[in-house]
Structures are given as C-alpha cells and as structure tokens.
Amino acid sequence: MHTSFKRIILAELLTLTSFHSYASRIVTDQIGRQVEIPDKIDRVVVLQHQTLNLLVQINATDKIVGILANWKQQLGEGYAQLVPELTHKAMLGDLTHVDLEKLVALHPQVVFVTNYAPKEMIDQISALGIPVLAISLRHDDAGQQGKINPSMQNEDQAYDLGIKEGITLIGNVVNKPKQAQALINAAFAGRKMVSDRLKNLPEQQRVRAYMANPDLTTYGSGKYTGLMMAHAGALNVAAATVQGFKQVSMEQVVAWNPQVIFVQDRYPNVVQEIQQDARWQTIDAVKNHRVWLMPEYAKAWGYPMPEAIGLGELWMAKKLYPEKFRDIDMQQQADRWYQRFYRTHYHDNAKYSDSR
C-alpha cells in the first residue's frame, strides 16, 4: 500500500470515527448482515445498477456521490439522458470490485453493493469503517442469499417480498421512506390490473415466448424475467430446461419454436441479428414478425424493477393479448410514471413506435 494511500486511509478513519458521535441505527441488509449506519444519510456510493435506479426513483439522486463505472452499459444509454446528473458523479468500480482509494476520498456514509459482491470486497470496505449494505431485491432462503442464481422454493414470493423489502430498506437508509412506499404501491397496482384481466386465461392459450439476449443467452427459471412473462400471460419456453441466466444452442431455440420473441431495450442489435440470420427464419415468431424490442421501462432483468412490475408486465400483456388491453395507452401510462418517479416526461423512442 502506498504511503500516501495509508495517510488518506488514516485521515478517513479519523473522520469516520466521528460518525459514531452522532445518532446511529442498526439496519439488516438483504444477505442478513446487521450494519450500523448514521441516522441521517447524505453521501452514498452505489455499486449496483438496480439500487442506483431505485435511488433515482425515490428522488435521492442528490445523495449519490459515487457510482459503478459501467452504469451506462447496465442501465442503457438512454438513462444518461433521463438522469443527466449521473454523468457528473465519480465512477469507481463495478458489481464485484471497487477502487478503495477513490472510495475513501468520497467520504461516503454508506456503500450499496450487490448481494453477490465478493466477501473480500465487503470486508475491505468495512475495514475502513464505511458501512456496506448488500441488496438482492429477493427474499432468499438461508444459504442462498449471496448467490447470483439461487434455488427458490417459491420464486414469485421470493421476488415480491424481496423487492418490497429492498426498496423499503433503501428508502429508510436515505431517509425517504414515504417515497419508497409510493414506488412499491405504484408497481403492484400495475401488476394487479394485468392479473385481473388475465385471470380466466386457459393454460393452453398462453403464448409461448422466448427472451433473446446477445450470444444466444436467455433467462430460464429462477430469474424475474420468467415471472414477468408468467404475470403477462406468457409461457417462457426456456423455464423447464434452463436454470438462471445461460447460453443455449440455436438447435434448442428452433426446437422450442417460440411464438413471440422479446429483446431487452439495451440490446437493439439482437433484433437485427435475429431478422437477418437465416437460422432464425424457421421460427414462428420470426415468420410472423413477432420479434419485439421492449421499451426502456420494461426492464426484463434477472431482478425485478418497480417499473417492470408496474409498466413492463402491462406492456408485455398488451403485446400478447391486445384485445384484452385495447383501452390501455402505454405512452400515457409510461408518461404518468416518469413524471412521478423520474420528474420528467417519457419520450417514446422511434424504435417503440408500436408500443402504444
């Protein structure tokens, strides 16, 4: 360790010990660790893109002093236009590592990391006297909390409980509990609208769908994407044979023969690849021009996001069963959400011209 870095760390530790002279509280993070944090939080570093998105939506962007370096890649290029102030934040690591020297210089009161951040990384930050909170947005069984692809007894319950607990925790940490609760309420109101309209849909009428990612990767069981499809009335063709996020073979996709293919907003090139690659042309979804790039708000990630639950599942259900959602204007729904939680209008990108 450089002498200058040692000096910085020593100075930081002296500064941080002062926080104990203020009122503090104990919170439990989503991997079950009890962590002491100051009562009032004004400086956070965020090394997980889901938590970054949640902090923005509960209007706590001004408390963020540092973010993960690949946030644009993780949240999509459009996110910088949505939240331009993020482009001025210090960048200092990613999901599994952090630049300790840069971290110390930012004087954070809390660092948010992903649930599968290496133990060594959490220990290094904690050793500097900086509280670390791990967020999974899942309610995991014991022994599964630090895994990327956990096994779950009840996926739906694990994600529903987990996102509520995660948003509540983040909101409490940054002193925004009311905003956090409003976000949770909005998300589940959207889901209820979908479930009410699809409750009588027979199993055999469900549309067979596939989530296409780059390099033939897809989401199977144990990931929110499959649940998103299920909530929207679709059947994820990969669920029976794929656990978590994995690469599959072209032969396998052809055998599944999905009726619909969804592609995440952040991977527009995948749509072009599917349309131009001869191997895909025998698949029903391609033949019937039902390969759809999802709008920005329909975040079909391994983890649920509030707008994916509140808007994305609704968008997906409307694409699959347009006759049941004819009265729903997605542009209007999205704009209402964006004004409320992003404090800006939703700009419908040209590539979603059919998203209404």
* pLDDT value at residue 8: 56
CA angle 121, 124, 126 (to 5 degrees): 105
In a domain, 126, yes or no: yes
Q: Tell whether the model's pLDDT for residue 29 goes beyond 70.
A: yes
Q: Tell whether the model's pLDDT for residue 354 goes beyond 50.
A: no
Tell me the pLDDT of the chain averaged across its residues: 89
Comparing 37-41, 167-171, 192-196, 292-296, the range with the smallest average pLDDT is 292-296
Based on the domain organization, do 129 and 214 belong to the same domain?
no
Instruction: Compare 249 and 265 and report the one with higher pLDDT.
Output: 249
Are the beta carbons of 304 and 223 closer than 8 angstroms? no
CB atoms within 10 A of CB 244: 15
* pLDDT value at residue 174: 98
Chain-centroid distance, C-alpha 260: 23
Q: What six digits make up the tokens of 260?
A: 């619909």
Based on the domain organization, do 141 and 192 belong to the same domain?
no
Mean pLDDT of 271-286: 96
Based on the domain organization, do 346 and 215 belong to the same domain?
yes
How many domains does the structure of the chain reveal? 2
Based on the domain organization, do 138 and 246 belong to the same domain?
no
Q: Tell whether the model's pLDDT for residue 11 goes beyond 70.
A: no
In a domain, 229, yes or no: yes
Determine the Cα–Cα distance for residues 214 and 75; give it in Å rounded to an integer. 16
Based on the domain organization, do 139 and 195 belong to the same domain?
no
Are the beta carbons of 298 and 316 closer than 8 angstroms? yes
* pLDDT value at residue 342: 96
Based on the domain organization, do 256 and 315 belong to the same domain?
yes
In a domain, 300, yes or no: yes
* pLDDT value at residue 76: 79
In a domain, 32, yes or no: yes
* pLDDT value at residue 9: 58
Domain end point (choices 91, 122, 147): 147
In a domain, 298, yes or no: yes
Based on the domain organization, do 192 and 121 belong to the same domain?
no
Domain end point (choices 117, 147, 177): 147
* pLDDT value at residue 148: 59
Based on the domain organization, do 222 and 109 belong to the same domain?
no
- pLDDT confidence band for 350 (50 / 70 / 90): very low
CB atoms within 10 A of CB 351: 13
* pLDDT value at residue 92: 95
Work out whether strand 207-212 and strand 234-236 pair parallel, antiparallel, or are unpaired.
parallel
In a domain, 335, yes or no: yes
Determine the Cα–Cα distance for residues 40 and 35; give it in Å rounded to an integer. 14
Q: For position 133, which CATH number holds?
A: 3.40.50.1980
Based on the domain organization, do 121 and 200 belong to the same domain?
no
Based on the domain organization, do 216 and 304 belong to the same domain?
yes
In a domain, 178, yes or no: no
Q: Tell whether the model's pLDDT for residue 323 goes beyond 50.
A: yes
* pLDDT value at residue 353: 36
Range of 81's domain? 3-147
Based on the domain organization, do 104 and 192 belong to the same domain?
no
* pLDDT value at residue 19: 46
Domain end point (choices 125, 147, 169): 147
* pLDDT value at residue 188: 96
Per-residue model confidence as pLDDT tens digits over 160-196: 999 999 999 999 999 999 999 999 999 999 999 999 9
Based on the domain organization, do 130 and 260 belong to the same domain?
no
In a domain, 313, yes or no: yes
Instruction: Compare 37 and 95 and report the one with higher pLDDT.
Output: 37
Per-residue model confidence as pLDDT tens digits over 44-72: 999 999 999 999 999 999 999 999 999 99
